[in-house]
């Protein structure tokens, strides 16, 4: 594995999570802390883990590529008809294109760099257990294991075959040590099993405290824990992974645990908060099982969803017709709060306002809305439950919970299985716009096409090629 292993873990002087912190991770030589010193204290482990979360927020990872940018271009979310569009080649699955190869290389490198950093924590933590107070050893180790599983799972969803196609095909390495060892490519099933092993261990460690902390407290590390892979986020990730694997019973069990036991801690956004003129909750912050905090989110959003050019349109936009079709405005969807408050008009098209940051106040009660990019939503648990339910009627009842919260009419309970499947897809498309999840839905189901594209899908279009450097270095020919 060709990693640029970090000799030093970089940390910032300020670790005020969710309070407008601008530098969770500082690469200035003045703030380099030697590894052996960093892991001498509990605070050092916390700092290192926060650094891992901040690595995830980089534009090469979940800051752009795996959410609002490259991943959603693969899912045909945007108008990319112009040959000069930044995602023209990506939206046509032209993986040998130079620009697309750069995106792919960046994603591979960023996620495995994250793996390397959490592995460093995991290799050190058991020998330093005595430096921890209270439940903090379990929290740090549990979250580190969960991050490792999340990163490998998303690498698998991009660089591996879908289980429904061939679960025994070699896919990616599952890296569990902090060294330069070259790991073999494991089969899809083996990677999934490794992810589940890490998630099961994480859940056991994190179940000792399932409370979500929604305000700042004396320990910044234990503040705003929706921005951590907390217990409920781990259960949500288990549900997502089991469904990808095809184990609907296990997926339903995990999703229902979140819904029935964790639900009170993840209240649906109120219409007033979603529609507010000032300090609008655009990402539905209270509903997020796990979101990353990206301190550069204003810049990321400006790159893609805003323009200062006269009569210009942003880089990523959708046509008026496509937006109206997406939210079914002629079939009861005109009252959908997502349609009403997630988009801004630019001439004949619309761009997403989900990540706009410049109109938030500096009030402490508002700060938790800033810089957030959703990774796992509470609503997804209802979609998983709907797909895995024993009967279509049960599935419709789960789907109607989310529909009612979004302000659209309930579906009839008499829908058949095929109609329910269609409605679930519609909800994924509406709910996860600019969040990078839709491509994985189509891949999991091995659909003939991705909605919005006329390209026939196969392994060559579903599976990203491993970067050239990795192929050459690890002799993966």
Structure confidence at residue 470 (pLDDT): 82
CA distances from 386 to 249, 253, 261 (A): 12, 12, 17
What dotted CATH number matches 8-261+288-300+367-383+418-473? 1.25.40.390
Euclidean distance between CA atoms 141 and 120, whole angstroms: 11
Three-state DSSP state, 100 = helix
Structure confidence at residue 21 (pLDDT): 37
Structure confidence at residue 475 (pLDDT): 55
Burial classification of residue 193, based on how many CB atoms lie within 10 Å of its CB (0-12 exposed, 13-18 middle, 19 or more buried): middle
Structure confidence at residue 14 (pLDDT): 30
Q: What pTM was computed for the model? A: 0.92
CA distances from 295 to 22, 202, 266, 291 (A): 6, 27, 23, 13
Euclidean distance between CA atoms 79 and 88, whole angstroms: 9
Helix axes 378-388, 248-257, angle to 10 degrees: 140
Euclidean distance between CA atoms 409 and 416, whole angstroms: 18
User: What's the average pLDDT block by block, 10 residues per block, for the chain (477 residues)?
Assistant: 34 31 31 66 95 96 98 98 97 98 98 96 96 96 98 98 98 93 94 98 97 85 93 98 98 98 98 95 97 95 91 93 97 97 92 93 82 98 98 98 98 97 98 98 98 97 94 60
Single out the residue of 95, 229, 86, 82 nearest to residue 158, CA to CA: 95
The length of the chain, given as a count of residues? 477
User: Which residue in the block uniquely carries the two structure tokens 């030589």?
Assistant: 29
Structure confidence at residue 67 (pLDDT): 98
The segment(s) of the chain belonging to CATH 1.25.40.390 are 8-261+288-300+367-383+418-473
Structure confidence at residue 218 (pLDDT): 77
Does the CA dihedral 232-234-238-241 come out positive or negative? positive
Does the CA dihedral 162-114-197-204 come out positive or negative? negative
Q: DSSP letters of 136-168?
A: HHHHHHHHHHHHHHHHHHHHHHHHS--HHHHTT
Element (H, E) at 170: strand 170-172
DSSP state of 258: I
Structure confidence at residue 367 (pLDDT): 77
Euclidean distance between CA atoms 149 and 432, whole angstroms: 21
């Amino acid at each position: 594995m060709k990693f640029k292993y970090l000799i030093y873990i970089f940390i910032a002087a300020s670790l005020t999570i969710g309070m407008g912190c601008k530098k969770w991770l500082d690469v200035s030589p003045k703030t380099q802390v030697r590894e052996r010193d960093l892991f001498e204290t509990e605070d050092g482990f916390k700092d290192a883990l926060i650094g891992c979360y901040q690595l995830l927020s980089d534009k090469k990872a979940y800051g752009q590529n795996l959410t609002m940018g490259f991943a959603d271009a693969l899912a045909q979310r945007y108008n990319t008809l112009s040959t000069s569009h930044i995602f023209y080649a990506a939206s046509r699955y032209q993986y040998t294109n130079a620009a697309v190869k750069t995106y792919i290389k960046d994603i591979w490198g960023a996620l495995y760099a994250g793996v390397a950093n959490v592995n460093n924590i995991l290799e050190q933590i058991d020998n330093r257990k005595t430096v921890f107070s209270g439940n903090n050893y379990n929290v740090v180790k549990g979250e580190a294991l969960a991050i490792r599983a999340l990163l490998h799972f998303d690498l698998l969803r991009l660089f591996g075959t879908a289980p429904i196609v061939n679960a025994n095909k070699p896919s990616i390495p599952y890296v569990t040590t902090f060294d330069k060892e070259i790991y073999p490519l494991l089969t899809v099933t083996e990677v999934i099993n490794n992810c589940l092993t890490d998630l099961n261990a994480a859940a056991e460690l994190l179940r000792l405290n399932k409370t979500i902390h929604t305000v700042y407290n004396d320990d910044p590390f234990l503040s705003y824990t929706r921005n951590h892979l907390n217990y409920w986020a781990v259960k949500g990730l288990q549900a997502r992974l089991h469904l990808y694997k095809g184990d609907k019973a296990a997926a339903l069990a995990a999703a229902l645990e979140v819904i029935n036991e964790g639900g009170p801690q993840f209240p649906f956004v109120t219409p007033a908060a979603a529609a507010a003129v000032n300090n609008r909750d655009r990402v539905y912050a209270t509903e997020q099982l796990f979101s990353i905090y990206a301190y550069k989110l204003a810049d990321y959003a400006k790159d893609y969803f805003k323009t200062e050019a006269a009569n210009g349109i942003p880089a990523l936009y959708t046509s008026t017709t496509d937006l109206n079709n997406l939210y079914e405005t002629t079939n009861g969807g005109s009252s959908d709060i997502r349609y009403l408050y997630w988009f801004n008009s630019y001439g004949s098209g619309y761009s997403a306002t989900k990540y706009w940051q410049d109109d938030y106040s500096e009030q402490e009660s508002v700060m938790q809305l800033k810089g957030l990019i959703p990774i796992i939503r509470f609503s997804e648990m209802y979609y998983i439950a709907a797909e895995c339910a024993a009967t279509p009627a049960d599935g419709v009842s789960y789907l109607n919970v989310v529909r009612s919260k979004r302000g659209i009419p309930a579906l009839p309970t008499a829908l058949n299985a095929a109609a329910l499947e269609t409605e679930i897809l519609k909800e994924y498309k509406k709910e996860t716009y600019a969040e990078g999840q839709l491509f994985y839905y189509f891949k999991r189901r091995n659909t003939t096409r991705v909605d919005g594209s006329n390209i026939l899908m196969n392994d060559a279009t579903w599976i990203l090629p491993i970067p050239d450097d990795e192929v050459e270095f690890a002799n993966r020919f």
